[in-house]
Each structure stands twice: as structure tokens, then as C-alpha cells.
Amino acid sequence: MAVMLREVIEQKRDYLYKIALSKGLSSKAVLELSQELDKLLNEYERSKLKN
């Protein structure tokens, strides 16, 4: 599970970077993606603690 979650995090991070370059760091899309990425990172950290 952690490996799959890590892949999703990397994909989301890449997408966030592309959107930030095209729309600017303070755009609504970037803020929403950043929050999604934060949730995924928290979930990943929790999964590491369980193992």
C-alpha cells in the first residue's frame, strides 16, 4: 500500500508543479491540489508508522 500511495503522491506533486507554473502559486487550483497532497502525505506517514 505504501508503495502505491507513494506513486500517487509523486504524480500529484508533478501535477501540482505544472499547474503552479501555468496558473500561479496563489490560484485556487494550486491551493486545492496542495491540500490534497498534504492529506496524501499525512496518510503515507500514518501507513509507515503502522508498519
36 Cβ contact list (under 8 Å, min separation 6): 12
pLDDT digits (tens, 9 = 90+) for 1-51: 778 999 999 999 999 999 999 999 999 999 999 999 999 999 999 998 887
pLDDT at 48: 87
pLDDT at 50: 85
The answer to whether 2 and 30 have CB atoms below 8 angstroms apart is: no
pLDDT at 12: 97
pLDDT at 31: 97
40 Cβ contact list (under 8 Å, min separation 6): 5, 8, 9, 12
Among the listed residues 7, 19, 9, the one whose alpha carbon sits nearest the alpha carbon of residue 39: 9
Query: pTM of this prediction?
Result: 0.86
Q: What angle do CA 23, 43, 20 make, to 5 degrees?
A: 10
